[in-house]
């Protein structure tokens, strides 16, 4: 990097964009100018990478979410110039950390699904894999979370305050998407995904929806001002917000429009580029292209692909269906029924009637195949794509997809053995496992530079950043007290940094010498934040009864957003915040425990939380969490898991050892044995401590201001038989926490537990996952841009 040229370019960008010099510029303005300058370093390699990839087979990742987080710091590390830029800014009197904090999170995702997509895109670039991501450029992302009197409120997430210097609007590659009631423009915005210390620059293409005619001049002149911009507003709505509330029909229609908009624009783009390179020949299409559907949101890509081949290129529909069977693969992320999308046929007909016609043809073809195989009508009804007026997206994806994968070994086994057993028996060769992973570039090298430096020193090089399996070589230091002490000193330093951040951002004071017990993830009943809350309230009452109770000073930290229409999840947030208010203001417990619910949990907050955690709380109901990736981020940063035998927890324990984690609760086989006879009231009535904390929901201890949240939560646990088995696992969780307190008291034992988790985290790199997709599903190879 030419420092003088970079300095001059930053100053030039500040003058052009904002009319200011470096001394007057705000952090956001400097971020924008610096990022624009850095784009100049990558554009040539980016263009060359696209050309190199076009000579062979490519894969495309279609996802409704990309939870990318901030770009600047990660990109500087991938370019290998972080320290140089840090020094340059220092010479200009600018703190690089302040500039990084000025960048808004690109919050174009909700949770693990979107963060996984972001990790995969990063790993593909680092592993030099020809993979392009497709998504939607939501103007406002999900939402910004605010707490008022313990309640969650939502605000628009305006992440484009300083524009988006890390993307390029490709005006020449606009396509049109046609709905039944309107036609819109899909405008591509391309973001470079920079391969770590590589010349390969991959692409994430996000589509923005715009009206073909944004302004009706005649209506405006007639004084019909609202009508004059009606089409613009209607188009903007499609890419305005991730997951609009679908409690009402209008919300469902908008969600469906979003999905069709994403897939139509993306499939048109893929096909048009194929035609420009290879002509209107589609028999060999699958040898050049593979499309991965990230969950059921983009499954309409299948009938859209068939529609384009049939309606635009005159391919026979049976042939188009057969081609599609070799192109599409499907990742299943859940066994929860509500997450396996089903759309009322009337909604699809209203938005895109031609697509419904094609789905109907696919369904009829599938039924005919099943009849030939000798399936009965009852059995066929279980498989049908259209059944009782509902289109089942997972059924469409599994029938057409040439591969169907789960995202953790336990999850895949459940799909094959129970939830999708009929499909597995029909298509056993389609099913495979691809355990999720995380990118070590962001989740260790970037967010925990202190630990990264120690690892590099101990291993003698930085090769681990592209080969995380090398962490296993750290095990030779597991009994070295000097190394373990340095390791834990870094953990304390990260806790001090988090404490400072909490004070600055949320105005909350925490003691970095306390045990940090952290549960951060999407708010859902099966993830059982409520179980954690009930445990903490019980612990509080026990301390009140026994002030001499010996436990380490503990800070329990939550981070989670509840969907705007998910009332029970909002009730859990309110309940937890009320308990925090009770505990944190009770001088009698002398600060032994504290409860913190961070506001607006997001990627940049997560980057502070994961390295500082002493305990990773992963307590979903066994069999409900497909994988989880937060558990992997904690593990990588030296944090043991306190959790159930669920999702990727199973594989974490297998890798780092049960002695280095704290597993509790019912397992899948236990739930199977008791579920027909399970009676939550028995647990409630026989355990006084459990009854005491549950009763606070209805006895006036806490006030939900007439919202009915607490009565609903009480009913879910006591009168609706506790479908997620919180009461059954309550006592077991208490014992696990006691084991944590005991282990934490022995500082060297605890240090070894933490260190062993980092040593054994190598298998959970998304680099490993993406290479497995390449070899086992997409049949593509790394392709270097020299």
629 is catalytic: yes
647: left (phi over 0), alpha (psi -120 to 50) or beta: left
pLDDT at 497 over 90: yes
pLDDT at 111: 85
pLDDT at 761: 98
Percent of the chain with pLDDT over 70: 99
Q: Which of 208, 289, 333, 442 is catalytic?
A: 333
pLDDT at 238: 96
594 is catalytic: no
* Structural domain boundaries, residue 516: 440-668+742-758
What's the CATH code of the domain at 556? 3.40.50.2000
Q: Does residue 612 belong to any structural domain of this protein?
A: yes
pLDDT at 225: 61
pLDDT at 331: 98
Q: Does residue 710 belong to any structural domain of this protein?
A: no
411: Cβ contacts below 8 Å, ≥ 6 apart? 332, 335, 433, 625, 626, 627, 647
Q: Using N-to-C axis directions, what is the helix angle for 393-400 and 353-372, rounded to 10°?
A: 60
Tell me the two tokens of residue 253. Answer: 């229609």
Tell me the two tokens of residue 774. Answer: 């390449």
User: Mind listing the pLDDT tens digit for each residue in 16-32?
Assistant: 999 999 999 999 999 99
pLDDT at 589 over 80: yes
Q: Which of 185, 527, 561, 594 is catalytic?
A: 527
**Ordered alpha helix ranges (H), 19-138:** 27-53, 72-79, 82-91, 96-102, 112-126
Chain-wide mean pLDDT for the chain?
A: 96
Helices and strands of the chain, counted as H and E runs:
34, 23
Q: Does residue 388 belong to any structural domain of this protein?
A: no
Q: Does residue 84 belong to any structural domain of this protein?
A: no
Q: Does residue 664 belong to any structural domain of this protein?
A: yes
DSSP, res 644: -
Q: Using N-to-C axis directions, what is the helix angle for 766-773 and 112-126, rounded to 10°?
A: 80
Q: Which of 521, 528, 574, 768 is catalytic?
A: 521
333 is catalytic: yes
Dihedral over Cα of 81, 86, 89, 90: its sign = negative
Q: Does residue 532 belong to any structural domain of this protein?
A: yes
pLDDT at 585: 96
pTM: 0.96
Average pLDDT over residues 441-464: 98
Q: Does residue 659 belong to any structural domain of this protein?
A: yes
Q: With beta carbons less than 8 A apart as the criterion, state whether 389 and 345 touch.
A: yes
Cα 734 to Cα 257, 550, 577, 645: the distances in Å are 46, 14, 21, 16
User: Mind listing the pLDDT tens digit for each residue in 138-196?
Assistant: 998 889 999 999 999 999 988 887 789 999 999 999 999 999 999 999 999 999 999 99
Closest Cα to residue 615, out of 469, 480, 509, 743? 743
Question: If you search the block for the tokens 């990588």, which residue do you land on?
Answer: 636
DSSP, res 151: E
Q: Does residue 28 belong to any structural domain of this protein?
A: no
Average pLDDT over residues 544-565: 96
Average pLDDT over residues 685-695: 98
pLDDT at 246: 84
pLDDT at 289: 98
pLDDT at 510 over 70: yes
624 is catalytic: no
H-helix or E-strand containing 581?
helix 567-584
State phi, psi for 374 to the nearest 5 degrees. Answer: 90, 20
Q: Using N-to-C axis directions, what is the helix angle for 72-79 and 27-53, rounded to 10°?
A: 50
- Greater confidence, 214 or 174? 174
pLDDT at 15 over 90: yes
pLDDT at 110: 87
Q: Which of 522, 592, 594, 602 is catalytic?
A: 522
- In angstroms, rounded to a whole number, what is the distance separating the alpha carbons of residues 217 and 604? 43
521 is catalytic: yes
Number of domain units in the chain: 1
Q: Which of 255, 633, 752, 768 is catalytic?
A: 633
Question: If you search the block for the tokens 């110039």, which residue do you land on?
Answer: 81
């Amino acid at each position: 990097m030419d420092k003088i040229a970079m300095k001059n370019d930053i100053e030039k960008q500040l003058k052009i964009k904002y009319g200011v010099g470096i001394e007057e510029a705000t952090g956001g303005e400097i971020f924008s100018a610096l990022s624009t300058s850095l784009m100049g370093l990558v554009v040539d390699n980016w263009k060359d990478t696209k050309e190199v990839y076009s000579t062979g087979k490519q894969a495309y990742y279609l996802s409704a979410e990309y939870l990318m987080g901030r770009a600047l710091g990660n990109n500087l590390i991938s370019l290998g110039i972080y320290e140089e830029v840090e020094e340059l800014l220092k010479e200009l009197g600018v703190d690089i950390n302040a500039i990084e904090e000025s960048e808004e999170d690109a919050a174009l995702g909700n949770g693990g699904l979107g963060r996984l997509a972001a990790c995969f895109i990063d790993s593909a670039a680092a592993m030099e894999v020809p993979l392009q991501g497709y998504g939607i450029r939501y103007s406002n992302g999900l939402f910004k979370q605010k707490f008022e009197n313990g309640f969650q409120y939502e605000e628009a997430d305006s992440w484009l305050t300083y524009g988006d210097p890390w993307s390029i609007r490709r005006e020449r590659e606009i396509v049109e998407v046609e709905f039944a009631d309107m036609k819109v423009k899909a405008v591509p915005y391309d973001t470079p995904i920079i391969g770590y210390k590589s010349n390969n620059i991959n692409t994430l293409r996000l589509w923005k929806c715009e009206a073909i005619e944004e302004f009706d001049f005649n209506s405006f002149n007639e004084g019909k001002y609202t009508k004059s911009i009606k089409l613009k507003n209607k188009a903007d709505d499609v890419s305005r917000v991730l997951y609009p509330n679908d409690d009402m029909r209008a919300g469902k229609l908008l969600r469906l429009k979003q999905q069709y908009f994403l897939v139509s624009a993306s499939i048109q783009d893929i096909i048009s580029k194929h035609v420009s390179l290879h002509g209107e020949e589609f028999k060999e299409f699958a040898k050049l292209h593979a499309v991965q559907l990230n969950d059921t949101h983009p499954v309409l890509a299948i009938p859209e692909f068939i529609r384009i081949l049939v309606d635009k290129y005159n391919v026979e529909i049976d042939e188009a269906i057969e081609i599609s069977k070799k192109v599409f693969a499907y990742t299943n992320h859940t066994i929860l029924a509500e997450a396996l999308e089903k759309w009322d046929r009337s909604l699809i007909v209203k938005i895109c009637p031609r697509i419904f016609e094609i789905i109907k043809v696919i369904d009829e073809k599938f039924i005919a195949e099943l009849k030939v195989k000798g399936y009965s009508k009852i059995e066929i009804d279980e498989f049908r794509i259209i059944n009782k007026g509902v289109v089942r997206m997972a059924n469409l994806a599994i029938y057409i997809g040439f591969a169907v994968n789960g995202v953790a070994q336990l999850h895949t086994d459940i799909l094959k053995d129970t939830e999708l057993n009929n499909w597995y028996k029909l298509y056993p060769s389609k099913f495979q496992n691809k355990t999720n992973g995380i990118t070590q570039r962001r989740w260790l090298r970037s967010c925990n530079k202190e630990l990264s430096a120690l690892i590099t020193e101990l291993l003698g090089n930085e090769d681990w950043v592209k080969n995380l399996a090398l962490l296993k070589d750290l095990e030779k230091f597991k009994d070295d007290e000097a190394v373990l002490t340095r390791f834990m000193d870094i953990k304390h330093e990260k806790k001090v940094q988090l404490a400072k951040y909490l004070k600055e951002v949320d105005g909350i004071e925490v003691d970095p010498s306390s045990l940090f017990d952290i549960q951060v993830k999407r708010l859902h009943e099966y993830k059982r934040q409520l179980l954690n809350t009930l445990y903490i309230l019980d612990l509080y009452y026990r301390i009140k009864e026994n002030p001499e109770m010996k436990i380490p000073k503990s800070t329990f930290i939550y981070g989670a957003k509840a969907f705007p229409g998910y009332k029970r999840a909002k009730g859990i947030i309110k309940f937890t915040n009320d308990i925090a208010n009770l505990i944190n203001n009770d001088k009698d417990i002398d600060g032994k425990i504290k409860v913190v619910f961070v506001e607006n949990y997001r990627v940049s907050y997560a980057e502070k939380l994961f390295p500082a955690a002493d305990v990773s709380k992963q307590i979903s109901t066994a069999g409900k969490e497909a994988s989880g990736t937060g558990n992997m981020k904690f593990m990588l940063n030296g944090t043991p898991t306190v959790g159930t035998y669920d999702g990727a927890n199973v594989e974490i324990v297998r890798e780092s050892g049960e002695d280095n984690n704290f597993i509790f609760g019912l397992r899948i086989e236990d739930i199977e044995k008791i579920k027909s006879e399970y009676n939550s009231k028995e647990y409630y009535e026989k355990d006084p401590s459990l009854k005491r904390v549950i009763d606070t929901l209805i006895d006036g201890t806490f006030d939900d201001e007439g919202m009915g949240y607490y009565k609903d939560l009480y009913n879910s646990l006591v009168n609706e038989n506790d479908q997620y088995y919180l009461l059954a696992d309550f006592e077991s969780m208490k014992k696990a926490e006691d084991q944590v307190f005991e282990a934490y008291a022995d500082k060297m034992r605890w240090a070894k537990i933490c260190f062993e988790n980092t040593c054994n985290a190598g298998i959970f790199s998304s680099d490993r996952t993406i290479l497995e997709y390449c070899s086992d599903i997409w049949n593509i190879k790394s392709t270097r841009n020299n």
